[in-house]
Structure 1
């Protein structure tokens, strides 16, 4: 690839494959300089993205959902390269949070126009760790939803959405408050509860507005926690996540901070819907860490 090329990272199976036929149209909309990266796994996608950025491409464009974007972010974070987002996944929470059009072709047109006009918008990212950091753009889940994700990913049956539904039922059966060590900009906010999320954008899970006030350009991370509540209360709270009205519940508290330390035993954290690792994390907001082509 050359410095005039646009590297395109695409996941043909994103959105359960419903956007597969759009890829050629997206490439056409991006122009003759667009080159599709070769990748057959998440690890290969990340490696190909890093290689393209190291070679000095004009831009890296991610076509897919939050998982595809998450892989691409590892290559563009704090690098002097344009980053384009074309939402084509089941969940497109980062794209929504940064104001990209919902329609993939319209989004590709926005990216192409931004490149042609030499403009970009600085957008924050969340940095995880200091040495060899990981990055995420939308939301990190470290409570009940993280437990459900981990259980669902370990299950081989059933397939499709029913696996997630069964995982919810199984986790509800063992629902209990957990102790969290939480430090925000050096101040202790440790608590006992069953919900914690740290976000750069407002939503996760395909539009659940877990952090409705999050702004990916304010230099801060939003943090939501919830005190202990029972199964019935959790069932009532879940529908409110879609609207973002859960934050009015007296058991729910929202903070903003630049630096977040979060620890709890027995929980695997998920960020941008991707498995991140044990919940023993130091998180920092990196202002303007990505040059969004918008």
Structure 2
């Protein structure tokens, strides 16, 4: 690593990151004087700062999944390295990299000094847009929940924020007619609550949607939910929170490298908790070994269950 840029998103964690700005600035000045510290402005300005760094630079992002997602375009499929200080509301990427439990000073030191490893990313294509993601691409109910979570009360963070959004969306429960092709072959068709693609075991601030998913196996994991009533969805929610939901016949999971989804009516989509809008057609593909990141450890899989090494 020849240089390091530390970038803080002042809006991460409902403004919690901004309150630590001076403490972080002091810590970098004292312990990591070779690193450059900036507070992110607009997304184009932040992208320009990253693109101006050397090809082998390390970019340390202070924030959550949304912060990481917005900064992926100048990072994915390059030789730059990504370090993470998890101070966001979701932090599912940090969970997959075993960074979530670190206090910010420890996470900062680790992000600046530990070696990097290679992981996968994903990309969703719809209309004329191509958007990379690192944790998940959700389609349907989960994306509607993501929009409600983004517009939720600032004082509520993490899993409680997501659960409140989930309960509100259940009041307006919608289904879509989804047709899914996997690797070019028909996989599923019919009424569905959602069809989501995960690169990490969890989404929605730690909900273990696909507990056996790996972030470095060259594949993404599809999770499809069929028709659910409000009552059955409420019954399923505790099982989902415990990771005990995949035995339900209305749920289907499948590892893939590429899928195509047609939805009627137009299906809402979101990546890493960031709402993108609605579309009748989208494609989701894995970008294998496309990002260098600083992790503490990556999960190992035993009998279909992911555990931390």
Instruction: Place the TM-score, normalised by the shorter chain, in its bin.
Output: 0.7 to 0.9
Q: In the alignment, what sits opposite 1:127?
A: 123
Give the TM-score normalised by the residue count of structure 2.
0.81
Q: In the alignment, what sits opposite 1:271?
A: 271
CA contact (8 A) 1:7 1:52 kept: no
Return the offset for 1:160. 5.3
Stretch of structure 1 that moved more, 223-232 or 21-30: 21-30
Q: In the alignment, what sits opposite 2:14?
A: 16
CA contact (8 A) 2:6 2:36 kept: yes
More strand by share: 2
1:118-147 CA distances to partner (integer Å, 9 max, x unpaired)?
x32110000223987321000111121212
Question: Take 1:95 and 1:30, find their aligned partners in 2: how far apart are those partners?
Answer: 23
Distance 1:152 1:242, change over 3 A: closer
Q: In the alignment, what sits opposite 1:146?
A: 143
CA contact (8 A) 2:192 2:226 kept: yes
Return the offset for 1:11. 1.1
DSSP 3-state at the match of 2:245 = helix
Return the offset for 1:106. 2.0
Question: Take 1:64 and 1:79, find their aligned partners in 2: how far apart are those partners?
Answer: 21
CA contact (8 A) 2:14 2:155 kept: no
Q: In the alignment, what sits opposite 1:40?
A: 41
Matched residues, number: 284
**Structure 2 unaligned runs (5+)?**
296-309
Distance 1:25 1:107, change over 3 A: farther
Return the offset for 1:17. 3.0
CA contact (8 A) 2:62 2:86 kept: yes
1:214-241 CA distances to partner (integer Å, 9 max, x unpaired)?
1011000000011101101111112222
**Structure 1 unaligned runs (5+)?**
none
Q: In the alignment, what sits opposite 1:243?
A: 242
Return the offset for 1:177. 2.6
Stretch of structure 1 that moved more, 32-41 or 283-292: 32-41
Question: Take 1:78 and 1:227, find their aligned partners in 2: how far apart are those partners?
Answer: 35
Distance 1:151 1:65, change over 3 A: closer
Give the TM-score normalised by the residue count of structure 1.
0.85
More helix by share: 1
Question: Take 1:25 and 1:246, find their aligned partners in 2: how far apart are those partners?
Answer: 46
Alignment of 1:108-187 (within 5 A): 108-114=108-114, 119-129=115-125, 133-150=130-147, 161=156, 168=166, 171-187=169-185
Question: Take 2:30 and 2:89, find their aligned partners in 1: how far apart are those partners?
Answer: 22
Distance 1:197 1:109, change over 3 A: same
Return the offset for 1:72. 1.9
Distance 1:163 1:121, change over 3 A: closer
Stretch of structure 1 that moved more, 229-238 or 275-284: 275-284
